[in-house]
């Protein structure tokens, strides 16, 4: 039996640029400090797919830790320009130096190179021509802006 496994490679699928609404501060729950941040619109584009972020079906259910890092349960509903609907779910973490996280919390512009924002991602669709998305393993690198968030989504090949 061979133990030579292929080295995984990443292929860029698309970038999501989403606008954010006013966070809903749930408060301190048994899991941690819960916030729900609605994604109110935006777009996505890549070599094979492009379209819009659908408001009303997109939000980040965050747990903000005492050190300022956050755990994200991000659900984004996308619609391609051809009309197909994609359900994207990401789970991940945003962490970094305390001063950088404090600047993000104040809504300042902070370069994504100053902190780590990574997720594991799944994509679900009923579109026959996009079934490859249902079977993919995806990761994303994110960046937070004062009024929005961006994610570069990659498939692991």
User: CA-CA distance, 9 to 65, in Å (whole number)?
Assistant: 32
Closest C-alpha to 94, from 105, 83, 78: 105
pLDDT at 105 (0 to 100): 84
In terms of pTM, does the model score above 0.85?
yes
pLDDT in tens, 116-135: 999 999 999 999 999 999 99
Asked if residue 58 belongs to a domain, the reply is yes
Asked if residue 2 belongs to a domain, the reply is no
- Domain extent, residue 99, equals 10-156
Taking every pair of Cα atoms in the chain, the longest distance, rounded to a whole number of angstroms, is 55
Asked if residue 89 belongs to a domain, the reply is yes
Asked if residue 5 belongs to a domain, the reply is no
CB 47 within 8 A of CB 12: yes
pLDDT at 68 over 90: no
The domain total for the chain is 1
Give whole-number Cα distances, 32 to 28, 35, 64, in Å.
Answer: 5, 10, 7
- Per the listing, tokens 């779910």 go with 89
Asked if residue 1 belongs to a domain, the reply is no
Report the CATH number at residue 123.
Answer: 2.40.160.20
């Amino acid at each position: 039996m061979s133990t030579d496994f292929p080295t995984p490679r990443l292929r860029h699928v698309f970038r999501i640029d989403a606008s954010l609404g006013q966070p809903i501060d749930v408060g301190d729950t048994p899991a941690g400090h819960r916030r729900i941040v609605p994604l109110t619109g935006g777009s996505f584009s890549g070599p094979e797919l492009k379209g819009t972020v659908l408001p009303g079906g997109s939000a980040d259910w965050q747990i903000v830790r005492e050190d300022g890092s956050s755990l994200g349960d991000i659900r984004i509903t996308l619609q391609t320009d051809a009309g197909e609907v994609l359900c994207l779910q990401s789970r991940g973490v945003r962490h970094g130096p305390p001063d950088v996280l404090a600047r993000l919390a104040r809504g300042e512009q902070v370069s994504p190179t100053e902190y780590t924002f990574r997720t594991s991602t799944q994509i679900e669709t009923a579109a026959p021509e996009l079934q490859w998305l249902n079977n993919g393993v995806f990761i994303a690198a994110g960046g937070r802006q004062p009024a929005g968030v961006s994610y570069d989504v990659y498939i692991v090949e």
